[in-house]
Chain A
Amino acid sequence: MPQDYIRPSSLEEAMAIKAAKPEAVFLAGGTCLLAGDSRKKPDSLIDVGRILPRGIEHGSRGLVIGAGATFQDLVDSRSVPPALRDAALSMINRNVRNRATVGGNLGAGKSCASLVPLFIVLGARVKVLGPKGPHGALAMEWMAIPRGLLLEVELELKPGTWLAFARHSRTSCDLSVLTCAVAYGLDAEKRLDGLKVALGGLGPHAREFPDLAGFFEGQALPGKAAIEERARTVFSPRTDFRGSAAFKSVRAAALLADALHSAEEIT
């Protein structure tokens, strides 16, 4: 059980506390950090839930999402593209959506984190508050070593980009077993241009599959069977109680095919 709870009134104060107590952990929604009565939790928590930015707004560099925005904020926002709303809604549990934050989802970095595949394929950038002040980074780079306090996520939403999110879960209200996001453009001949593919559930973290995207780059969107045939050879998931490696491989390939064929254009 945490022994120390501090709720700073400003981001600066939060950073000062963190500097004084490096073992303390930032707390926002708490749906991951506080989950499980018997699970070990940090001794010391710095609650930044009320001071993190949580706006969702179009800015000069695209869509800027405050790290303190909840999943329900994303669902309710009129600014987010349908694929991002789908990803937020993949956290079916409304009670959890009301607390879980964008920053927490990235910070936890779980394999099937709902938002991460989309952020990967959109090349999301983050704004992070560190000991020396705010700085920017690619979201993937920050997630690899999440230091500092995440403030914002920036998404470049170029018109003409086709975007989709898809998932496989056992029941609706389940942690995703597999997640997939795709983003691509179409050239004048309707060939795939700048395809990016990311999947979660196939390893410890969601990740991009550039070679697979590269294989299809420049082609007209292949049929689902062709996509699946190629994709199955690329994935190497682990067998666990959610499914065998063979099943996950087949299912992930189908998910990719479905995502590519259900993508919607950003206008």
Chain B
Amino acid sequence: MTLHFTLNGRATTWQVEPGMSLRDLLRSKGIVSVRNGCDGEGSCGLCSVILDGKTVNSCQVLAPQAEGVEAFTVEFFSRDRGLSVVQQALIESGCVQCGYCTPAVTLALHKLLDRKSEPGRADIEDALSGILCRCTGYEQFFDAAHLAAARLKDPEHVAHPAPEFRDDLRHVGKCREKVDAPALARGERAYVEDRVPEDALVLKLFASPHARACIKRIDTTKAESMSGVHAVLTYLNTPSRVYTTAGQGFPEPSPYDGRMFSRVMRFAGDRVAAVLAETEAEALAAIAAIDVEFEVLKPILTIEEASAPGASPVHAGQVSYVAGSAPEGRLTTGDPTVYGGEDDPVIYQFPIGGDPSHNLAASTAGGIGDIAKGFAEAEVTIEREYYARRVHCTPLEPHVVLTRMENSRLVIHASTQVPWHLRRIVATAIGAPENKVRVIKERVGGGFGAKQDLCLEDIAGWLTWTTGKTVFFRYTREEEFISARTRHPMKIAVKLGAKRDGKLTAIEFKVRADTGAYGQHALTVPMNACSKSLPLILCDNVHFDVRTYYTNLPASGAYQGYGAPQGSFALQTALAELAAELGMDQLDLLERNRVRSGSRIEILRSLGEGRAGAAVTLGECGLGDMIEGGRKSMAWGKHEAASDPEWRLGPEWKLGPEWKLGKGAVIIQQGSGLPGLDAANALVRLQTDGSFMLLSGGSDLGTGLDTLTVKIVAEVMKVDPKDVAVLSGDTDATPFDKGAYASSGTFFSGNAAKLAAEDLMKRILAVAAGLLEESAADLRVLPGGTIAGKLGKTTSYHEIAHRTSSGEGPGELCGIGSFKTEHAAFPYGAHFAQVAVNGRTGDVVLKRYHVFQDCGTPINPELAMGQIYGGVMKAVGHSLYEEMLFDAEGHCANPNFLDYKIPGIREIPGDFKVVFVPVEDPVGPYGGKSISEIALNGAAPAIAIAIHDACGAWVREWPFTPERVLRALGKL
């Protein structure tokens, strides 16, 4: 049928299908700013359009319903590559991280400002109530709305989005425009899904309906013959080699325990088959026509079931080692009684304490001192167990890939954190050399660790490599929940011994983790629960014991924080429980035992990442200042009453005096990359006009890494950031980088860019010395790129570039930076929470959250704040709302945003504050350290401790749902 409407001010006539959504229509016409995060639930708001003067979800509007109506998308505000006042305000306020939600937020704020010229907090909450954002934590949206409102009144209004640092530097530590933000705010083509050519075929997955089963028989004949179908993949026609999907440095400390398609289904959502067809409908119809018979087996769904004596193994194939051998007494022959005696092998690159025959994917143990002696010396001992449930990373852009052939090479347009690891793993999986594979990292609509793993690139790559077809593969939201990666559930038993004065004498830390069906990150994530929590506390006798088990649940993997949040929750809450037992103030106990400047951290000897660790003597540590800052800002020790008018901040207060207030605090830490294991590289090329091209291996996930490296190069070269362009994360065009994980971006990729710029500067000065006939040591580089000698003559980058690149010159100047280190740079933080708890209902409301954070020099201050707000709000979600739930057969009961609750703008605390306490690192670029992951480590224990302070109940299992709070109170 014919649709006539006005789109972005233009009369438009299109032919449409009657049942097509307005979202799909607009996207099909190239309006890519209209995105899809929830598959039509109406719960994410990313497909927002203004229709008939109101913001609506275009997924729930049929295209013909727009007949005669005026519609606007963000493209209206992006005309002629311009930016509206709202788009500009969002950029300046640090709100454009991954950018996937930015067009929707832009529309909502424009409509709000149409309604109200001076919106209050409640108005902004209401305007953005239907839009999910996983990156920013929402707080800076308020700044952006206020800034836009101010600019509408006074176009010259100046924003101050964040404090600035390092007066001696021009760009580092200052608020500057995020380099990718304008394009993302305009809704330009930036993500994988925006690159799909018309001839691309669609790949869809046939996911296992059973948590544990064998394929007895599978017949794809009918599916293969159906209209539009180009290929059907199963275990019968795909490579049999096993590999890991974990994007880690090679050799990976993760078992090779999965093949592209297997005969054995290990979780509900595992790969039965995949169909490549011309349309999604044809692919789905073909999947429905696949005739498959399963032998359904009883699934193993808990750590207890997996570790029980005689438990049936999830992986029953032969076990082998590339280097080293199995620990003594461990079975390597597999279990012939399971899966008909035919299962895929498990290959370890080196021993990590695995024993798949007993469902043990990995294990390790270690410590310092004499744990028995430590407990013998204790005057008080407590033992507690803490349980972190399975949660999901939920990037708003699900896993997605586009693969195509070009010049007999496989090109992968990826939404990934690890372009080089992805290339290596896909090349291995399809049996091609790495130089036949190119990975182009597009803008990533949220990673959070989920995109450190391959979930679909191997299948798409294989199909393109073998058929030559262009393949597009995008998970639905349900597939993202079930078949992508989740956070490792962990049960952590903590035993603490202490003297009456609070001095710890012993810490025992037993971690039992659930890696799900496959063992990616099986050693390193649970290990990180120890290595990012235990080193915070100085204790002579520490023992840890880590065991990670296979179950028949969706695969665990990397999730921002990488095990540290689970470890932090257990240790920090246990310390607070010890303080309560001793009748001490919680912060006094932390002060009695915490690391401080100059501390020798012995426990790091036994906490290497799959290799020997080393003790570290800490340099300066800002924890003392952070704790003091929190004591003051939170009025620590003062017990406010819910009836105090100052605290009547929300609608819940009208319900009565059953609300009690409580406070909690924690100290946290993280690392800055993996010293001794990882490396980063960068090139800086002088362009012929004197501008610079930075080729960074780093993978910007929306975090601002590209902006950070540009600023660093601009700082070194003494030019404006606009004189530096960046290309990153392209395995053909940029040099190797380990990828975006382990909080390594600033420290590794930033240092690589700095080294490259410094190398280029040396080369420029050498040429300039020849031109000016002076020693390079006598030359000065002036801001803007003029090079002056002692004798009064000057030259410029432009002149040098022209001379070097001409026929008589020595060739293009290019600086190379390669960074690796053995230096460990720890960011520290102190987080403070205040909650209100309703003792009748179990409801918990987060009222205040104050963050005191060291990230060294905050190179992008406003973006660093956004990283912290976003990290905290993810952790708040995990603490209060989020949990993947499974039925007795192992099916996920809530694989969607309606039922799996991530926080919206109304969940953020009314008083949400970030204070930087910078402690510069001597090795970090301009003193910078990591920022992103640490922010997730504080909320769960801080909130748990605050809940106890409010109502006297310890809730040791998160999320702290009202039901769990009532149970802890003994009211259920």
Contacts and interface: CB of A to CB of B under 8 A. Distances in A.
Contact of B963 (A5, A243, A258): A243
A243 B959 CA distance: 13
A174 interface: yes
Nearest to A1: B19
Contact of A30 (B48, B62, B131, B963): B62
Interface in B881-924: 881, 885, 893-894, 898-899, 901-904, 906-907
B127 A3 contact: no
A257 to B, nearest CB: 8
B19 A41 contact: yes
Contacts of A39: 40
Select the residue from A94, A224, A228, A262 with max chain B CB neighbours within 10 A.
Answer: A94
B216 to A, nearest CB: 28
Contact of B841 (A4, A5, A37, A254): A254
B524 interface: no
Contacts of A41: 19
A38 B39 contact: yes
B476 interface: yes
Chief secondary structure at chain A's binding surface? loop
Contacts of A34: 21, 40, 59-62
Interface stretch (B49-57, B206-214, B790-798): B49-57
A175 interface: yes
Interface string B11-53: 0000001111100000000000000000111110100100000
Given A94-B129, A171-B881, A30 B61 contact: yes
A94 B901 CA distance: 17
Nearest to B128: A94
Given A5-B1, A47-B65, A261 B656 contact: yes
B166 interface: no
A205 interface: no
A93 B126 CA distance: 8
B632 interface: no
B239 interface: no
Given A47-B65, A93-B45, A243-B963, A5 B904 contact: no
A196 interface: no
A29 B61 CA distance: 8
A250 to B, nearest CB: 6
A54 interface: no
Contacts of B131: 95
A258 B901 CA distance: 24
Nearest to A228: B840
Nearest to B47: A95
A36 B130 contact: no
A29 B129 CA distance: 18
A36 B45 CA distance: 13
A21 to B, nearest CB: 14
A207 interface: no
B158 interface: no
Contact of B60 (A35, A47, A174, A251): A35
Contacts of A172: 129, 904, 906-907
A5 B62 contact: yes
B533 to A, nearest CB: 28
A246 interface: yes
Given A35-B60, A38-B39, A172-B904, A241 B885 contact: yes
Nearest to A96: B42
A133 to B, nearest CB: 28
Interface string B942-972: 0000000000000000000111001000011
B752 to A, nearest CB: 41
A125 interface: no
Given A35-B60, A170-B901, A93 B972 contact: no
B64 interface: yes
B209 to A, nearest CB: 15
Contact of A173 (B40, B129, B842, B885): B129
27 contacts: A1-B17, A29-B60, A34-B62, A37-B476, A39-B40, A45-B18, A92-B904, A93-B129, A93-B130, A94-B108, A94-B126, A94-B129, A95-B56, A95-B57, A96-B57, A99-B61, A170-B901, A174-B901, A224-B840, A244-B963, A244-B972, A247-B966, A251-B962, A258-B655, A258-B656, A261-B655, A261-B656
Q: 7 shortest A-B CB distances, which residue pairs?
A: A2-B19, A1-B19, A93-B130, A172-B906, A5-B18, A95-B130, A37-B40
Interface of A: 1-5, 7, 27, 29-31, 34-39, 41, 45, 47, 49, 72, 92-96, 98-99, 168, 170-175, 224, 228, 241-244, 246-247, 250-251, 254, 257-258, 261-262
Interface of B: 1, 17-21, 39-43, 45, 48, 54-57, 59-62, 64-65, 67, 108, 126-127, 129-131, 476, 654-656, 840-842, 881, 885, 893-894, 898-899, 901-904, 906-907, 961-963, 966, 971-972
Given A2-B18, A92-B129, A258-B656, 6 more contacts: A45-B62, A95-B48, A96-B60, A173-B904, A224-B656, A250-B841
